[in-house]
Amino acid sequence: MGDNGNILAQLSNALSATVEAVSRSIVRVEARRRGHASGIAWSKEGLVVTAHHAVQRDHDLRIGLPEGGTVEAELVGRDPTTDVAVLRARGATLHPPTWAEADSLHVGHLVLSVGRHDTHAQASLGIVAKKDGAWRTPTGGHVDAFLQTDILVYPGFSGSALVDAEGRAGGMNTSWFLRRSSLTLPAATLRRVVGVLLEHGRVRRGLLGVGAHPAQLPGSVRQDLEQHAGLLVVSVEDESPAEAAGVLVGDLIVGLDGEPVQHLESLLFLLTEERIGKAVPLRVVRGGRLETLTVTVGERR
């Protein structure tokens, strides 16, 4: 298109200018043995948000700055359930991006992923492939919107920013949940998780104190409950909430706080921060009969 190339050249320049502008908010996270990851400046005072799975150690962390140079960093906290970690870069002034909320992103929108696992920033281009409402990660993390792009995620891109056409950060990309394809944690989720991590250093998770294994329900209860499986209690920890509630080895847990429990994931989903310290009904099948116990959910430490 050479001479008559107009839109293509304009688009190309707009994309690289967008990358350049937002890259001052993108840092390098040196926190694992092989290959660095990316991170997004969260506050001027040095907070950085990155992917939990890319922070493989708690000490000896460093942040590579957009203007060059590397500073030491400390771990503020991490939430494996949403794959978010927060670091604080020492003695660095950062430039947080402008954030865009998930409702401004639509399927088909052009988006960039901007990371920095090397000295300079890297970018790749794609479109928003799928968008849906709030969801729970397999380990029980709450994510405010399901955002998937067709951007390829390769080592070092976790912790990169999803950047919209206006140069705003729409979230943090991670390969943790979908492996080969990019999933984006929206800005609202980052705000919430960072808030909790700053306050508590971790996202609090509930605890019952049982070892359990998924098992089929006896036919009679299966019909009453309209569910096929429950969790067979194989151990009860001493002085645990489950022990206090009278849970016995051999009980089949089928529900917690009015919600069905069919497998380990569904129990994890339910052991949220909000339920810690609360007395909630725990439904079990004992000796072929349904019983309801009351358990005060503890906190996992």
Partner 1 sequence: MASLLKQLNGELAAVAARARRSVVQVHSARYGAGTGVVVQAAGLIVTNAHVVKKRYPRVTLADGRTLRAQVLGYDADEDLAALSVEADGLEALALADSRSARPGDLVQALGHPWGVVGAATAGVVVALEAGWLEPPLRGRDWIVADLHLWPGNSGGPLLDAAGRVLGLNTMLIGTGLGVAVPAHRVGAFLGRVAPSRRGAASGYVL
Which residues here bind partner 1, judged by CB under 8 A?
1-2, 4-9, 11-13, 15-20, 23, 35, 112, 114, 117-126, 151-152, 154-156
Could you tell me the smallest distance in angstroms from the CB atom of residue 7 to partner 1? 5
Residue (163 or 236) nearer to partner 1, CB: 163
Residue (122 or 266) nearer to partner 1, CB: 122
Could you tell me the smallest distance in angstroms from the CB atom of residue 147 to partner 1? 19
Could you tell me the smallest distance in angstroms from the CB atom of residue 140 to partner 1? 31
Tokens of 171: 């979230």
The residue length of the chain stands at 301
- CA-angle at 238, arms to 235 and 244, nearest 5°: 95
Could you tell me the smallest distance in angstroms from the CB atom of residue 108 to partner 1? 11
Give how far the C-alpha of residue 189 lies from the chain's centroid of Cα atoms, to the nearest Å. Answer: 8
Rounded CA-CA distance 226/224 in Å is 6
Residue (107 or 264) nearer to partner 1, CB: 107
Could you tell me the smallest distance in angstroms from the CB atom of residue 6 to partner 1? 7
86: Cβ–Cβ under 8 A, 6 or more apart, which residues? 42, 47, 48, 49, 50, 75, 76, 77, 78, 194, 197, 198
The stretches of the chain forming alpha helices (DSSP H) are: 7-22, 187-200, 219-225, 241-244, 264-270
**If you write DSSP's letter for every residue of 167-179 in order, what string do you get?**
S-EEEEEESTTTT
Could you tell me the smallest distance in angstroms from the CB atom of residue 14 to partner 1? 8
Rounded CA-CA distance 165/146 in Å is 19
Residue (21 or 234) nearer to partner 1, CB: 21
Could you tell me the smallest distance in angstroms from the CB atom of residue 36 to partner 1? 8
Q: Are 197 and 49 in contact (CB under 8 A)?
A: no
CA distances from 2 to 7, 11, 87, 215, 245 (A): 11, 14, 46, 66, 75
Residue (19 or 54) nearer to partner 1, CB: 19
Residue (123 or 196) nearer to partner 1, CB: 123
Residue (100 or 297) nearer to partner 1, CB: 100
